[in-house]
Amino acid sequence: MKHSWRVSSVTLAALLTLSALFIAAGGLGLASSVGLIGLIFTPVVFVSGWRAFKSAPTLVFLAILSVGWICLTHAWSPYEKADQAYKLALLTPLFVIAAYIACRLTDEEANRQTTVLTIITVLVGGYFLIEALTGALIGGWIELNLEESTYPAEAIRNAKVTLSRGATAFLMIAGPVAMSLWRRETPLNRSMAVTLIVMAAFASASFDVEANILAFGFGLIMAAAAYWGAQLAPQILLVGAGIWVLGAPLFMGMGLALIPDSLEDRLPLSWAWRLEIWQAVLSEIRQAPLIGHGLDSMRAISDPAPYRDIIIDRLPLHAHNAGLHIWMDAGAIGAILCAATLFAAAAGIGRARLNRDQIISLSYVGGLWLVSVMLGYGVYQEWHHAALALGVFTAFLNRTDTRP
């Protein structure tokens, strides 16, 4: 039995290390490595996991209904490929199990995996720091010599896209790891904690993706709120997210109506483009408010329009806003189910036996992820779900005895 657990421990450490390599490479491979963690360790935690699920039947039932409905909407989607529905149905449970595994580790094993995560997170942070300071020198070389980029400017641009995505995943784990280092209360560990946050700040502010800066900042704000408000902070975050998803068309419609044209004209192109996207998505939502246009519908619908001397697509791959995206694809039914799931999760956290460091870390990860999907990435992207699961896993590893 001891030999079997040692093998499991090495396997978990290897998959975490692989996840770090995928983060440095842009994050897309995270769905594979984190999904493998869930798949391989399902037999180990199946009994305890089943008991945990039975203790929160409403949350589990609503989560299954939400994912099931979103997958079902592909039946009337204009986008023919059903791969996203399969990914949501098959990978989501594995990601949940992967995050849950951290709760079942012994304190000794949690410390061991924390050490692994600390080493690889600092190394990945160092890589992003170098890339931030050199203007994507390494990534640009890779794009120019090993990928399809044909000239230096294109290589740097493509490298920054990859780096910005990987940086988002890095930010997910940097906060909980920094919290773990800070709690060890030695000058070296606390210096490393501060260094890691500085690395995260550079990663968020580089690579031309402003959404990462806002997400990182909001994650830190939520961590501070959790420090002072303990268990109430993540509950407020989840309830707020549920309200936002439920009322996204109303809130966004009112907000966009208040923005004067003069202000839009002064905005950077990327943010002005978002305003155009949100206007177009609101128009599409009004055409199918109850059941939506179907999963991945925006991949099949385009709305090219002249804007600032260029042609933009007002309906790109996703809405750059999770609430509007859910309404666009799954309609009011999908929004109600997702909001209800978030409300049930808030109630579940209120009953969970979490220590203060776990609450702070979860608030950071949750706040960062929510801003990312509200302003940056598509809400269904599996690599992003895997990054969230890895962040939650890392948060659960914090085992201090301090209770809120």
pLDDT digits (tens, 9 = 90+) for 212-229: 999 999 999 999 999 887
Is residue 321 assigned to a domain? no
Nearest to 368 by CA among 252, 184, 143, 211: 211
Separation of alpha carbons 25 and 162, rounded Å: 7
Nearest to 217 by CA among 27, 386, 371: 371
* Lookup result for tokens 């779900």: 385
Is residue 148 assigned to a domain? yes
pLDDT digits (tens, 9 = 90+) for 367-384: 999 999 998 888 999 999
Query: How are the residues of the chain apportioned to helix, strand and coil, as percentages rounded to the nearest 5?
Result: 80, 0, 20
Read off the pTM: 0.93
147-177 burial code (b ≥16 CB/10 A, e <16) = eebeeeeebbebbbbbbbbbbbbbbbbbbbb
Is residue 238 assigned to a domain? no
Q: How many domains does the chain have?
A: 1
Is residue 275 assigned to a domain? no
Is residue 354 assigned to a domain? no
pLDDT digits (tens, 9 = 90+) for 39-84: 999 888 777 777 777 777 899 999 999 999 999 999 999 999 999 9
Region of poorest pLDDT, from 36-40, 84-88, 198-202, 228-232: 228-232
Residue 387 · residue 394 · CB < 8 Å: no
Mean pLDDT value of segment 24-39: 94
Domain boundaries, position 12: 2-219+375-396
pLDDT digits (tens, 9 = 90+) for 342-354: 999 999 887 888 8
Which tokens sit at 82? 């059903």
Is residue 225 assigned to a domain? no
